[in-house]
Structure 1
Amino acid sequence: MTISVVGGSSIGTSVEGLAEKVGTMIAQLGCVLVCGGLGGAMEAAAKGAQKAGGITIGILPGKEKDDANPHIDIALPTSIGYARNTIVACSADIIVALPGSYGTNSEICYGLVYSRPVIDLGNWNIDGMTHAKNVEDAREKIEQIIKKLQQS
């Protein structure tokens, strides 16, 4: 299973900690973490996943693999800028949305348009998302979704 983590590139320490916990949880579930591959929430989530022994994939907006943050195992440069948000969303079985801005919003919307379950840890209040109170609650919801996906 792949889980995309979407969130802001400019974040404070509370979101950084949240993102790292989400990344750790994804690795503990045995899932592959997908993200935009750059800084902020993407880097913190990848760091958490990598520290927990998980695999991380970064879908980069530019053409250089070296632009990836140091916690990306597989860097995929796209040269398509923000259009890469479609790939981040659609390559996921599940999306976890952290606080962010327009780019994060676009990834959430692409996920919903293409029928990906989106877990809201960022108070987005967008119809179709599943709100989680914290990382533990998100984990329970993700485990339920994985179970359903494996049965279908």
Structure 2
Amino acid sequence: MPNQVAVCGPRECTEQDAANAHEVGRLLAQAGATVLNGGGAGVMAAVSAGARSAGGLVIGVRPGASKNDANPDLSAVLVTNMGEARNAVLVWSADAVIVVGGSWGTLSELALAKRRGVPVVSLGGWQMLDVDGHPVPDSPPIAATPQDAVAFALEHAGS
């Protein structure tokens, strides 16, 4: 079975985050991974478009009771009617998580993944620092490029 990699990020993102997410999606699809995301706008739409541009399978996990607001590049939509609790469904379904950019919802997905022991890498997103500005032990590595983020996720998926 192919790796399932969740890509998490804000629905309101920067142009750089969108470009990074698009490239992450494309690279994951080229590697044969199934791309999971929240199925909405912003980072979610960009990663979906990137994956679909490379012929990838893209699954969106929506928080509401309808798939009508899902982005158009999804291969399939899971409607949960769970609100933010859908973040747990997304993370529990992933073999690895790539965080692109940052929002409070994205931070919750990162925390859920770390708590579950799912490999996580951050690209232009959250950094966990202690009071002295040093990385918190076991905090997610920071990727410099989409290529680095995808390589980490695929290497550590399921570990």
Give the TM-score of the pair, scaled to structure 2: 0.88
Which of 79, 87, 91 is the equivalent residue of 1:89?
Answer: 91
Give 2:117's aligned residue. Answer: 115
Contact 2:5 2:153 in 1 (8 A): no
Q: CA deviation at 1:123?
A: 3.7
| Residue aligned with 1:67, SS | coil
Give 2:140's aligned residue. Answer: 129
Give 1:52's aligned residue. Answer: 54
| Residue aligned with 1:37, SS | coil
Q: CA deviation at 1:115?
A: 0.4
Contact 1:57 1:74 in 2 (8 A): yes
Give 2:35's aligned residue. Answer: 33
Most deviating of 132-141 and 23-32: 132-141
Contact 1:6 1:98 in 2 (8 A): yes
Give 1:141's aligned residue. Answer: 152
Unaligned runs of 5+ in 1: none
Give the count of matched residue pairs. Answer: 148
Q: CA deviation at 1:122?
A: 2.3
Q: CA deviation at 1:143?
A: 3.5
Contact 1:9 1:100 in 2 (8 A): no
| Residue aligned with 2:78, SS | strand
Contact 2:102 2:125 in 1 (8 A): no
Most deviating of 39-48 and 64-73: 64-73
Give 1:69's aligned residue. Answer: 71
Q: What RMSD over aligned residues (CA atoms) do the two structures have, in Å?
A: 1.3
Give the TM-score of the pair, scaled to structure 1: 0.92
Richer in helix (by share): 1
Q: Percent identity?
A: 34
Structure 1 ranges of 4+ moved more than 4 A:
none
Unaligned runs of 5+ in 2: 129-135
Separation in 2 of the partners of 1:92 and 1:135? 18
Separation in 2 of the partners of 1:143 and 1:37? 21
| Residue aligned with 1:70, SS | coil
